Structures are given as C-alpha cells and as structure tokens.
Structure 1
Amino acid sequence: MSSPPVLLKQESAAQAASPPETPEAKDKVESPWVRANEKGREASQGSDGDEDTVAVHPGVGAVGATWKQRIPALLIILFLTLGSNFAQSSLSPLKSTLKKEIKGVTNARYGAIASADSLINGVLPIFSGIVIDYYGPSMASIWSSTFILLGTVLRAIGGTVGSFSLILGGQIIFGLGSTTIETAQSKLYTHWARGSVDGGAGWMGFIYGLDIAMGRVFNLMGRLSSIPIGESTGKWYWSFWVSAILCAVTLLLNVAYVILERSLPERMRVVTGRQIARRSAASDADAGKKFKPLSKRHFKYISISIAAIPAAFWLVTMSQILQAGTVNAYTSNLAEMVEVTRGTTKLTAGYTSSLSQVIPIVLTPLVGLAFDLFGRRMYYVSATAALWVLVFSLLGFSDVHPLAPVILGSVALSSNAIPFIASIPLLVPSQISIGTAFGIWKAFNSAGSTIMDVSTGAIQDLTPTGTKQYSNVFYFLIALKSVDVLFGLGYHMLDKRYFGGFLLLNEKQRINKEAEETEKHRMEGLRKPIRSWTLAGCCLLSAMVVTSYVVYVVYSIGT
C-alpha cells in the first residue's frame, strides 16, 4: 500500500469536509506531517524550481545512500564534539592552578566557572532542538561550533591575561554551543545510520554506542593532558589554547560535512522543517503570501515540533526523571566513596575510581551493536538497574575489595544510557521532531542530575562523618534503581501493547515491520501525539527545571 508524500497542511478542503471529531480523537494532537509516504522519500522540484520543496517521508533517513556515502559522513560527525569535550574536561584538573594564578578566584568562583555552561542546559536543549528540527542540524552545528570556538578563545585570552571575568564569559559562550552540537549530532546519526528496505539494515545502536565511547575518549584526553601541557610549555594556560585549536579543527570538520552533504543528491540530504513548511505554505490557500521569518505562520511550524512528539516518548522520559542523576551522583563522588568506605588514601581511591571510565569505552559500542543484531532494548534497562543495586550494596554495605564494585559499576555504566538513546529514534521516528525529542531528553537529564547532585550532597551533610558517611546516600540510590528494575519490565510490556513492539525488534525486523505498516498502524496506542501527555510532559519538565535552579541557588550560593 502506498500513500501520497507529505503535504504538510494543517487545514484543507478535505479536512473541512471530514466528519466531526470523535471523543477519542479530541485528545490526539494533529501534526502537519501526518500523511506519510510508506515507500520512503522522493525528492522533487516545485513548480517554481525551488529546491526547498521536497516531498518526504519524515521517518526515513538518507534515501538511496550507500555506505560509500554514509561512512565518510558518519566519521566526520563522530568528531564534531572533539573540541567541546576536550575543552570541558580539561578545566577540572586546573582548579588549584586557577586559584593560585588568577587573583580573586576562590572555590565558589571556580564553581561558577565550572557550572556556567551547565546551568543553561535546563532550557537551552529544548530550544536548540526545535531550531535544529526547523533549520536543520547541518547549519545548527556550524553555529554551535562557532560559539564553542569563540568561547574557548575568550577563555584562553582570559587565562593569558589573568582575568576571571573573561574566563567566565568564555565558559558561558562555550555552553551555548556545546549542548546544541550534541543534539545536532544525535539527529544526524538518525539520518545516516537508520536502515531502510532499499538500503538494508542500519547500525543506529552501534553508532550511538560508538559516539558515547568517543565522547569518553575525548574527555579522557582533556583530563589527562591539561597538566602535562602546562608543565611542558611552562605556561599553565596553554591547555586552554590547545582546546581552542581543537575547537577550530572541529569547526573545519563541520564545514567539511556541510560541503559533503550539499554535494550529494537532494534525496540523501537531511530534510528540514523549514523546507516542509515552505512546501505547505506554497500549497495553502494563502499561497500568494510570502513565508516570512518571525511571522505567525513561521512560529506555528517551529512550535509544532513539540506537539508532534508521540506519547510513548513522554511516558518513558517522564518516568526516568531522576535515573540519570542517580548514576551521575555515583560517578562524581566515586573517588571519595572509595576513600571513605574503605579507608584508602586519596591517590589509591583516585586510581581505583578511574577504572570505571575505561571499560565503557569498549563495551558501550558492543551493547549498541547487540541492539542492532538482537533487539530487546528494554531488557537491558532492568538488568542494568539490578546491577547498579548490587554495586551500591557492595560498595556501601560490604567489606569486599573496592575493585569489585567499581568494575561492576563500569559494566553497568556501559549499558546505562545507550538503551534509551538508541530507542528515542524508534519512539520518535519522524525527522521533523527527533531533534526536539533529544533536546527534551537532555533537559530532563540535566535538571535531574542537578537535583540529584545537590540532594545526595545534602543527605551526606546530614549524616555523621566516618565510614558510614555515605550509607544514607546509598540507601537513596538503591531505592531509585530498584524502581528502575520495575520500569524496565514495564517498558517491555508497554512496548508490546502500545509502542508497536519496535523496542523488542532488531534492525532487520524493524525495517520489515515498518515497510508493512499502514498509517493506521502508525497511529495506534501511544505511538501518536496525545495532547494530555504532551502537556503533562511540558509541565513536569518546567517543574524540574525550576526545582533544579532553586536547589542550586539555595545549596550552592545561599550556603
């Protein structure tokens, strides 16, 4: 069965003549790209020859692209965060140096520098995701790489002249770009690594796992090299300049990707919401009116990215509000946890905790590959949560050697985020909303991590010092991860009944099922946008962001 390409009209004569809305349909959000082309995407020119008028199935990636085109694109995309990850991780080893070399830098002022880019992550990912969906990830990545470069250069100048204000300002500008480029990168992966009937099975799970692993490598490079760079050059701030140089290289890679994409046929490129909005405007009753930026029509198509996100995504995202923060609280305090619970030296605790970052570099891509070959993504959620419960129990309430829970924790870390990251493109198959979905996911995680960091710190402060100082923190973490074991089982059952069963399938099975589906199948259960779920998700996200800012101010600034 084949249906027409996307026409993207919110109102038409056919809709005007349609029967009255049923009670069940009233809660359903009508998106402007409901009508899909089941055979895939077709590139076409409008009557005026405008190359922006493209007919598209928004859930299909690079149509007709072979791996000769995909591999160069994916290799470039993998390195788009080289500069930002290196720059971010190179800061923490220089804390004592900054306090010594720059007048007026205290622990509180260093905290302001370190958190400057993180504080805006409560709201920025949502807006950047919408912009990426509308204008496209290619240009958004260029803009974000430019902000990253400007921020790191300003930070390096601040280090050279010894100015706290310049370093802080550079870090804020850097933060405007670092989050956006990660979201753009995630959307580009869904375009180039997604499989299709014509192109064969994709490797989204493996690519997302490889991306997480590469991010850890870049972070490790920055963390391990910042002090040696300063010692070898005799100038401590040269690690800032090396970061700026790598960010410049990243910007050049970004430009190379844009050139590569634009050299390919139209059907292989990423389709943007802007292109589809223009096509809709051209076929609308107001076709004579120009599609103006910042007009009411313009904002309508920008905001629709949120309204078009399926209810299944909101359900999973809202139920995971504190889970990412649980793991972040563990990893950020691991060295001290080992030191306190086992009575080791700071050096030994540091070496022991560093092992937790090595194993995921190898295992995470393999976990993603397992999703592509065997599916069953939600099984890993329950298994990983159960493993975390074991890790917290061994570290907090036993006398086993700390290497045992640390190594088990590194295995759990390998499969902690990847089941959800690899599932988002399946829950939100439309390219028109996937950037916004990733942005919302990042915003929830960022707010949850802030809340958990402060909460665990407050719990620790209320606990008497000694070897049991982290006991109440471990009770809290165990309780949250025990709930996550049940969540994983619940997701599996919901997937079979309401999500279409796609989270259970491997890549080949998913492609075959998508090819056989009709539009009616794609709108069953929680696979369609539902207004009540969208409103609930937006309200909860707003509450989480406000709470994260409040607890940060109260505990970090007010005390």
Structure 2
Amino acid sequence: MASEKPMDRPLPAAGDGDIDTPARPEADEKRITDIASYPSEDSDEVKDFPWRWKLTALVCGVALSWGSSFSENTLGPLKSTMIKQLDINNSQVSIRHDIVTIVENGRPKTNPPKYGAISSATSLVNTILPIVGGYGLDHYGVEWGSMACSIAIFLGAVVSAAGSNNDSFTLVVTGRVIMGFGSTVIETCTSKILAHWFQHKGLGLVYGLDLSIGKLIVLIAKATAVPMRDATSFWGWALWIPAIVCFANLLQNILYVWWARSRPTWTHMPTGQRLAREESQRERPRGESSETPTVDTMESARRFGALPDWGSLVRVPRFFWLVACTQILQAGVVGGFNGLNADIITKTRGSTAELAGYTSAVQQVIPVICAPLIGTFFDFFGYRMMFVSLTSTIWILVYCLIGFTQTNALGAMIIASVASTMNALPFLASIPLIVPNQLELGLVFGIWKVFNNSGSVIVDMIAGRLQDITPGGTYERVIAFFVAVKGLEFCLGLFYGILDRK
C-alpha cells in the first residue's frame, strides 16, 4: 500500500503538472509494486521485507490450499467404497469425480448424456470464475478473497462429509461443487501473496516449494484415504477428517489475515479499491478549482471503480498474451497423459490395473525433491524459457518410450517425473516478472488458468476422438498427437528465449 507519509507531503506546484501526467501508465505497468511498497522515496536502504515476515508469509501462503488439495485427492482411493455405500454405479462415480475435477482442476472427462447439462454448467463456471476471482483479488484485496475461498472450501467439505452420514450421493456432489468455487481461486491467492512478500526475488524457489509441498499433500491424501476409512466402522471418517483439515486451514487463514493487516501500512498489498480512494483524495483539491473533470480523473475512476474494468486486459503485456495463447494445448497434453498413462501401461504391457496405477504414481515422487532445486536454479541463472524446450524434449522421450516401445514402464515414469517437475515452474516463476503490477497479477493468473482449462478440454476431445478412430482402440495416434504438440513446444521455447533476451 502507499504510505501515509507521502500523502502528507504538500502537493507540487501547479506549474509542475506532475500529478496527472501521462507517466501514470508506465508506473502502473512496471513500478507500481515498488512505489506502493516503501514508506518514502528517500528510504533507499529499505529494499526488502524482513526475512521473518517473508517466512511467515511463505508458510501461510503455501498452506492456503492444503485443505482443498487433501480433501480432493482422498476421493480416488474411495471409489469402490462409494459405489457400495452410496448405492451408485460406475457411471455415477465417474460423474461425481468429473464434477469435482471440472470445478477444482479444470479437467473435464467424458460424461453420459443425461449428466451433460451438469458437466457443462460447472465447466462454464470454471471458465469464468478464475478471471472474475482474480480481478476481485486485485481490486478488493487478497486477504478478504482468501477468506471467502477458505469459507467456501470448508462449507463444501462439511456438506460432502455430511453426505456420508446419510449415504446421500446428492450431498456428496453438492459439497464438492461448493468446494470447487473456493479451490479454483485459492491458488491465485497463494501466487499473489508470494509475489508480493518476495518482491519478485527468489520466486523460483518459493513457487518450487509450493509445487513440491502440493505434490506431497497429494501423496499423503492418497496414502491415508483407505486407512481413514478403515479406522472405524464408519467409512465417512475418510471425508470428515479432510473436512477437519479444511477447518484448520480456515483458522490458519484467519491468523494470516490478522498478521498481514497488523503489519505497517507500507507493507500492505496494493489494491484497486484503496488506490481509487487515494486517487480521489489527491484529485479533490483540483476538482474544487476545476469546472470539468480531467481526463486522468475519469481514467482513474474507470480504472479503479467497483465494476470490472475490462481495459485491464489491454494493459496486460503482449508477451504474456503470446505465451498464454501458444501454450493453450501444452498443459492439456501433460494432464491428458497423466490421466491416461495407467491405462496405456495396461494395454501396451499387459500389466494389471493395480500395478499400472502404482507405476504411474511414481511420477509424483521426484517433484517433491527437485522442484525447489530447479526453482533456485532459475533464480540464480535464469534460462526459464530455455527449460521449456528441454522439458518438451523429455516429454517426447517419455511418450515414445511408453507408446512405441516395450521398455520398462517404471523407468519411463521416473523420467516423466523429471519432466513434470519442470513443466509448470518456468511459467509460474515468470508470470510475476512479465506482469509485475500487483493490480493486474490476480487477473493474469486467472487468465492463465482459464487458458489451461480450455486447453485441457480441447486435448481431451481430440485424444478421445483419435482413440475412437484407431483400430482396436489403442493409443498410437493419441501418443503421436502428444509428440507433435510437444515438438511444437520445443520450437516455442526457443522463440520465447529469443524474445526474452531482447
């Protein structure tokens, strides 16, 4: 936030004309975070937040999504239990899982026709919500936005767990949808918190830690789902314990909001609402002596008003739009392979479904260790965009080994885990550098998520169609499509690197 001391200074003379000069857009584009972060212009020695504050923000920010992630990933191992206890069939379990996946991760699957309307509705919400939620975080503040998300996650977890008491399929589904409204935006809260408190320094390490801990939560959730179910005669504890974790997450979020609001004013994250209020206070003396509003006054009112300013989309740097548009299929290809690799291993190597599942799970292990190390490499040496080409090369190797050879699938999955470590991190660590303005960062992360979600839908449709037209329903054409998309990404990574150097 802007400090109180600069606001107490006398306004420049009228002849200076510096209050409403066109220099404002450049400050908004490149320097707004720095301007809003320090108490005065002459405090050059204050270049960063204390490490004690940084570590507190890191722990609280990374922990925001633990509850939703833990609750979501306990569902897979409970499939057979839910079929029995809720008296449903595999199609209904698939629908329940698909709705959760659509709302929480943007990964829609193929649904039977009678559930198409539900699936489409939740997919539409997930397409709009990240952008609307991101803009809300920018305008009203990440503290209140994260509180709203945590409350939605907790309420959804409770409703879903209550369904286990009544063996109600409807309550379980409703709870997961409610939870999805919060979990869709909570990740953007984490991204904004880390970018603000670390001031675009060391972002590779902190985002790597976020990815690493997220993978660890997934492994813990999947490993403990069945023991939680079997701990007592009531299977619903496998849903109630994650709900309790979500409640602990809510308490932790309340603690973070109190802590962040109790810091000095100059450390507060800038918001559109507060800047609008400060702009109005600065413009009031000029407005009293002017018969008509100035152009900059109208621009400020439009830009930081209560209603969304879609002009923010135009102010987003063009390089971000280039990366977002050209990467639309890449995350979908990786997600599609992650969802299909167990079945591919089963069909190409004759493994049992259980063994194939264990083999594919190896992909989650290495990122827990390697993600922070790779992020630290980015911080010290750079080459983020060059890693895009390197990662695509590794994915091509994995796809060829799994789809076109009979090599041991375990080795291929270990290689895939290395690629998975480097897949999203270069972009996550680069977005706050491409768009350093905190008043646009939530919107930008929302746009990035929407592009990834849309790409997942497109890739799922293409992969399903390719498998349908392949004789015997095998995966040769699907794998060839994945290889082609990653081959394109190899070229794009080199192109990004050239533009980045310029």
TM above 0.5, one fold? yes
C-alpha displacement of 1:73: 1.7
Q: Secondary structure at the match of 1:264?
A: coil
Matched, 1:115 2:114: no
TM-score, with length taken from structure 2: 0.84
The residue that corresponds to 1:85 in the other structure is: 69
- For 1:209, the equivalent position in structure 2 comes to 208
Q: Is 1:156 aligned to residue 161 of structure 2?
A: yes
**Change in CA separation of 1:154 and 1:17 when aligned onto 2, cut-off 3 Å:** closer
**1:142–1:255: 8 Å Cα contact kept in structure 2?**
yes
Contact 1:355 1:407 in 2 (8 A): yes
Counterpart of 2:477? Answer: 472
Residue matched to 2:281: 282
Counterpart contact for 1:205–1:369, Cα < 8 Å: yes
Q: What is the CA–CA distance in structure 2 between the aligned matches of 1:39 and 1:123, rounded to whole Å?
A: 30
Q: Distance in 1 between matches of 2:498 and 2:178?
A: 44
Contact 2:37 2:267 in 1 (8 A): no
Match of 1:444 among 451, 454, 467: 451
Q: Partners in 2 of 1:324 and 1:401 — Cα distance?
A: 25
SS of the residue 1:123 aligns to: helix
- Over 3 Å counting, the alpha-carbon distance change for 1:328 and 1:204 in structure 2 is same
Q: C-alpha displacement at 1:144, in angstroms?
A: 0.2
Aligned in 2, Cα 1:40/1:89: closer, same or farther, shift over 3 Å? same
Aligned-residue identity in percent: 37
Amino acid at match of 1:81: S
In 2, distance between residues paired with 1:40 and 1:342? 59
Are 2:90 and 1:101 equivalent residues in the alignment?
no
Q: Is the 8 A contact 1:31 1:304 kept in 2?
A: no
Q: Deviations over 1:37-59 (max 9, x none)?
A: 79744667xxxxxxxxxx99xxx
The answer to whether 1:458 aligns with 2:441 is: no
486 and 230 in structure 1: CA distance in 2 versus 1, 3 angstrom threshold: same
Q: In structure 2, do the counterparts of structure 1 residues 376 and 113 end up closer, same or farther at CA, with 3 Å as the change threshold?
A: same
Residue aligning to 1:345: 352
**How big is the alpha-carbon RMSD for the aligned residues of Structure 1 and Structure 2?**
3.1
- Partner residue, 1:377: 384
Number of residue pairs matched by the alignment: 455
CA gap 1:73/1:17 in 2 versus in 1, 3 angstroms: closer
- 8 A contact 2:394–2:415 mirrored in 1: yes
For 2:167 and 2:95, the matched residues in 1 are separated by 16
- Could you tell me which runs of 5 or more consecutive residues in structure 2 were left unpaired when the two chains were aligned: 1-5, 8-15, 103-122
SS across alignment from 2:431: helix
Counterpart-to-counterpart distance in 1, 2:166 and 2:388: 49
1:456-487, CA deviations, whole angstroms, 9 ceiling, x for partnerless residues? 12222222237xx1111110000000000000
Task: Output the amino acid matched with 2:93.
Answer: Y
Contact 2:134 2:442 in 1 (8 A): yes
1:247 and 2:231 equivalent? no
Q: Give CA-to-partner distance per residue, 1:114-167, whole Å, 9 cap, x none.
A: 232422322211111000111111111111000000000000111111112211
Aligned equivalents of 2:304 and 2:411: distance in 1? 58
Report the Cα distance in structure 2 between the residues aligned to 1:152 and 1:433, rounded to whole angstroms.
31
Q: 1:270 to 1:377 in 2, by over 3 A?
A: same
Cα distance change, pair 248–17 in 1 and its aligned pair in 2 (3 A): closer
Partner secondary structure for residue 231 of structure 2: helix
Listed one character per residue, the Cα deviations across residues 509-547 of structure 1 (whole Å, up to 9, x for unaligned) are xxxxxxxxxxxxxxxxxxxxxxxxxxxxxxxxxxxxxxx
1:301 to partner: Cα distance = 6.3
Counterpart contact for 1:335–1:349, Cα < 8 Å: yes
Q: TM-score, normalised by structure 1?
A: 0.76
Matching residue's letter, 1:173: I
1:254-295 CA-to-partner distances (Å, cap 9, x unmatched) read 011111112211112211111111112223369689x9xx99
Deviation at 1:318, TM superposition (A): 0.5
Q: Alpha carbons of 1:328 and 1:272: their partners in 2 closer, same or farther (altered >3 Å)? A: same
Instruction: Supply the distance in 2 between the matched residues of 1:87 and 1:247 (Cα, whole angstroms).
Output: 8
- SS state at 1:465 partner: helix
Match of 1:144 among 132, 145, 149: 149
Of 426, 440, 447 in structure 1, the residue corresponding to residue 433 of structure 2 is 426
Closer, same or farther in 2 for the Cα pair 1:301/1:63, shift >3 Å?
farther
Kept after mapping to 1: 8 A contact 2:155/2:179: yes
- 1:356-395 equivalent positions in 2, closer than 5 A: 356-395=363-402
What is the CA-CA distance between 1:306 and the residue it aligns to?
2.8
Q: Give the conservation status (yes or no) of the 8 Å contact 1:379–1:488.
A: yes
Counterparts of 2:155 and 2:33 in 1: how far apart (Å)? 44
Q: Please give the alpha-carbon distance, in whole angstroms, between the structure 2 residues aligned to 1:478 and 1:38.
A: 40
Query: After the TM superposition, which residues 320-339 of structure 1 pair with which residues of structure 2 at under 5 Å, given as runs?
Result: 320-339=327-346
Counterpart secondary structure, 1:429? coil
